[in-house]
A and B are shown apart, each in its own frame.
Chain A
Amino acid sequence: MSALELRVAAVEPLSPLVTRFRFEHPAGAALPLFSGGAHIVVEMPDAGVLRRNAYSLISDPMDGSGYEIAVRREDAGRGGSRFMHTQVKPGDTLRVTAPINLFSLDLRAKKHVLIGGGIGITPFLAQLRQLTRLQMPFELHYAARSRAEAAGLALLPDLPQIHVHISEEGNRMDLGAILSGQPLGTHVYTCGPEGLIAAVDDTAARLGWPKGALHSEAFLSPPPGTPFTVTLKSGRTIEVGPHQSLLEALEAAEVEVNWSCRGGACGRCETGVSACHGRIEHHDHWLSDEEKAAQTKIMPCVSRFTGEMLTLDL
């Protein structure tokens, strides 16, 4: 995993819960450009624990002068976002990965429809700039509960193709209306809570949309759960805490595992299971249903285990 050491250039609250961070190269060098929808993984040295969280880039993909992310504070989470909000100050140095895109635009599309819910607006902020630069037809729908929580408002340009839906103001997003009558060759991108993605999928299916035109990215952070133990080939055992992912526990024990998105989407950390006496709680979007049922593979970035013994091919 190629990493960049970047300086925190700016920290700016956008709403009570969401803060924007800007990173720049300490010597002012240009950073690798990226495509809309890309993310970086930020390393957070938090009191002896190394946390790594993935965040969508929200800055202009064609601008290498800096990277910007927007972080929503999740107090019930594992502590990564809390660290960003409470510990990170301008001038600090953080390690981030090179940009990776698991949610790119289909550049063949005749039109792009972007649907963002809550903090799920973030990948679209970069995609908007890419679409504008490429002069491609698009419309964007941004749904939030209240104006105060809608951190994206400060970041969205004032364009007729951009529609804001604030449910508290009675202006709920009507997916049926959005997905009806779109020209052939339209692609839809959804980012936000699982419920929003499921609602778009259901509405699209009802309207006869093919799956190939639907793209989504769930903001999947490793879910907490009950502690469990895994066994390695050597017989060594590793304890996984309630707010720790299996991947994090393996890393803390200095067991080498490949990773990239840390959100169950890219497949990089796929690990073989040689014995499973119990049930793997698969939380990923990578393994097929058959693979999940077989219990012979696990994605340690998001998935957990309950039962007697889980032996990994590590």
Chain B
Amino acid sequence: MPRTEFSPSIASRPTYAPLRPHGAAPALMLADAEGAEALLELAAADPAVMDRAHLIYIPAGAAHGPRLRDLGAKMYHEAPSFSAALERYRKALLDAKMGTQLYLAGTEGLIGQGLAEALAAGLPADAIQSEHRGSIARRMQCVHCKGITENVTTDPFTCSHCGLTLFVRDHFSRRLGAFQGVCVDAETPGIVPEMKEIKA
């Protein structure tokens, strides 16, 4: 799956660029599903990028695992979900030294969470590379109940926590790693616009 081109939007909406190798510097790599392809291309551009890399991959049904493993990262780990990988990822950030490169690849939900954790650990934003691949589903925070709904593909959508019908904004919080969802029928309860697929 090729890199996603998103339409231009507001200043808080994240943008993504192709991953660029930083040689054999210590590296932390986090990818899900089709994000594997971005790491495969990164390693093809400069195989040394794997020499001191700790690679965490969440396949989410994709079959790229064996090819990623074969890249020869110093540490390779497959996790069934982001939450299963979270403590391992946090420890990797805690142990990391300045100069460590962070590569994030895959869905916006994964990139957003990976980014939020890394910023909290003290990594400056300009040390983090992220490339979008795969599903354009979004990770949404309900501004009302604060619950996060993962993998949102329609606008509006139903908050998986409080059940309100929310519209999908492009306003994005790096701290939360999520877009903002706001009640779509707040002024006119029950009058909900037609549900559409989210576009890139």
Contact = CB atoms under 8 A, between A and B. Distances in A.
Interface stretch (B12-20, B95-103, B177-185): B95-103
Nearest to A213: B124
Contacts of A179: 98-99
B2 interface: no
A185 interface: yes
From B25, B93, B125, B127, name the one whose CB has the most chain A CB atoms within 10 angstroms.
Answer: B127
Contacts, number: 55
Interface residues of B, number: 18
Given A208-B22, A208-B25, A210-B127, A109 B122 contact: yes
A185 B123 contact: yes
Contacts of B121: 184-185
A104 to B, nearest CB: 16
- Classify chain A: how many residues form its interface, as a range: 10 to 19
Nearest to A186: B98
B126 interface: yes
Nearest to A211: B126
Contact of A207 (B93, B94, B99, B124): B99
A306 B26 CA distance: 48
Interface of B: 22, 25-26, 93-94, 96-101, 121-127
Given A208-B22, A210-B126, 8 more contacts: A181-B97, A182-B97, A183-B97, A183-B98, A184-B94, A186-B122, A207-B99, A210-B124
Interface of A: 108-110, 179-186, 207-213
24 contacts: A108-B122, A109-B122, A181-B97, A183-B96, A183-B122, A184-B94, A184-B96, A184-B97, A184-B100, A184-B121, A184-B122, A185-B98, A185-B121, A185-B122, A186-B98, A207-B98, A209-B127, A210-B123, A210-B127, A211-B124, A211-B126, A213-B98, A213-B124, A213-B127
